[in-house]
Amino acid sequence: MEKDALARSQDIAIDVDNVRKRFRSYQDKAASLKERFISPSRTRHKDVTVLDGISFQVRKGEAVGLIGKNGCGKSTTLKLLTRILHPNEGRVTVNGRVSSLIELGAGFHPDMTGRENIYTNASIFGLTRKEVARRMDAIIRFSELEGFIDSPVRTYSSGMYMRLAFAVAINVDADVLLIDEILAVGDAAFQRKCFERLKEIKGNGTTIVIVSHSMEQMYKICDRLIWIEDGAIREEGTPKFIGEAYLAAMEGRRLDRIEFEEQQKKAELEKRIQEEQERLQKEQEGHQEAERAQEALEELRRKQEALQCNESLKGICPFYRSGARRQTGFLLAYTNVTMCDQDGRETNHWETGRDYKIRLAYKAADSYEGIRFVIGVTRDDGVYCYGSYKEIPGLLAPQGMLEFSFRNGLLKGKYVLDLWIEDFSGAPFDSIYSLAAIEVETDPYIERGILTMEHEWKVC
């Protein structure tokens, strides 16, 4: 048993045990002893708890991602692992040599050349001068700064500066690599090279802890995700499961915030209407002034009706988009809109070449004939991509449903669904713009543009 416990402990690269971290927050901190003496109230502070008893372990060779909203404690956790900070309570144990990609370029001197700064910066990571000399060519080659390496770094652009710093940090043979939101270095080609280098480092058995808001990066490199919320670990597990749960929670909060803002707008409109009504009641002079006030009141009411129309969209589609807008008198209008795959599963994630259905339920307040139901798809940058309609020449049933079945020919991108109901002359009954968000994936992604075309390549 003791041997098994010893083997397990030797397999652990990082052990964070019930760690708490607090910071002092001053509202108006005194800058000198004189100010403290004259205004003792300026030394008042409160303790802010950033981490509240988190515990986790990382095995050797494992890649773990820390996710969470800004201010939840991710970066503080990394700084505790690098020993830049120390916990108020608990224990942090890191076994092996540590390299961190947290503040790139720390220690660079602007008047020194790139080559000279490589020596000084690498020493921060614990490399000797001989070790740096052996790696010099690899560092310069990775940074792609061969033509500028003997120029002062103050002549570098910000991108060149960050590329040199990244090249130094990534060429340190470390047992543990800590990364904080730095995979946006240089152009797209250099970013891909940095990411491939990280995957190579992981493959060599280096333990990696990474903080990033890019879920795609997390899915590709991490074995496990730890979701930190309000200084505590909310969930941890496989990247796809934890990542999707986190994104769903963030989307829920975003929609709650949008709904709160819309409620505030509604309350403000109601307040303005009430104020305008009171003003009209007190207005005794001038017929023209009374007419202008009445027009203003009607305009506010129209805005209130438009807001109510937009609010009616929330209940008709499970993939309701917060920016959706509606114009209708509800005499003939859509009551339910669903999108599903051929197995009947509701989804707004489409794949190129797969079959899907859109079901449109409607309700009419009277008998109508000569009605046209219209569907359209627009790319999120405003490019109209596709449209189709179904005409009902005879008398329309008081309520019913139409089903639009199709094979998706759209290519990878983000789109929105638009809907109309109109008569044959084009007079609208119900117009809904950007009702639902649609995300299309294309696998393999070998075509570009808006839609796919049946084609054949021949070598002649």
- Kindly give the confidence (pLDDT) of every residue in the chain, 460 residues in length, as a single tens digit, with 9 standing for 90 and above: 444 444 446 789 999 999 999 887 765 555 555 555 555 555 566 788 888 889 999 999 899 999 988 888 888 888 888 888 889 999 999 988 787 777 665 667 888 998 998 888 787 777 788 888 888 998 899 888 898 999 998 898 877 887 888 888 778 777 888 887 665 555 677 778 888 888 888 888 889 998 887 788 888 889 999 999 988 999 999 999 998 888 888 888 777 788 788 888 888 888 888 888 877 777 766 666 667 766 766 766 665 555 555 667 878 888 888 878 888 888 899 999 999 999 999 999 999 999 999 999 999 988 899 999 999 999 988 899 999 999 999 999 999 999 999 999 999 999 999 999 999 999 999 999 989 999 999 998 889 999 999 888 899 8
DSSP state at residue 173: -
Q: Is 347 exposed, middle or buried (0-12, 13-18, 19+ CB in 10 A)?
A: middle
CB 432 within 8 A of CB 314: no
Tokens matching residue 22: 């607090």
> To which H or E segment does residue 373 belong?
strand 369-379
Output the CA–CA distances (angstroms, integers) from residue 142 to 137, 138, 215, in the order listed: 8, 6, 26
Nearest to 233 by CA among 223, 225, 245, 221: 225
DSSP state at residue 320: B
The C-alpha atoms of residue 182 and residue 198 are separated, in whole angstroms, by 12
pLDDT at 169: 78
pLDDT at 4: 45
Helices 158-170 and 129-143: crossing angle in degrees, nearest 10, is: 130
CB 354 within 8 A of CB 341: yes
pLDDT at 439: 94
- Would you say the pTM of this structure is higher than 0.85? no
Query: β-strand 207-211 against 349-351: which pairing, if any?
Result: unpaired
Exposure pattern of 216-249 as b/e (b: 16+ CB <10 Å)? Answer: ebbeebbebbbbbeebbbbebeebeebbeebeee
CB 418 within 8 A of CB 435: yes
Nearest to 327 by CA among 220, 224, 440, 427: 427
Fold topology of 58-248: Rossmann fold (3.40.50)
Q: Does domain 316-444 have CATH number 3.10.100.10?
A: no
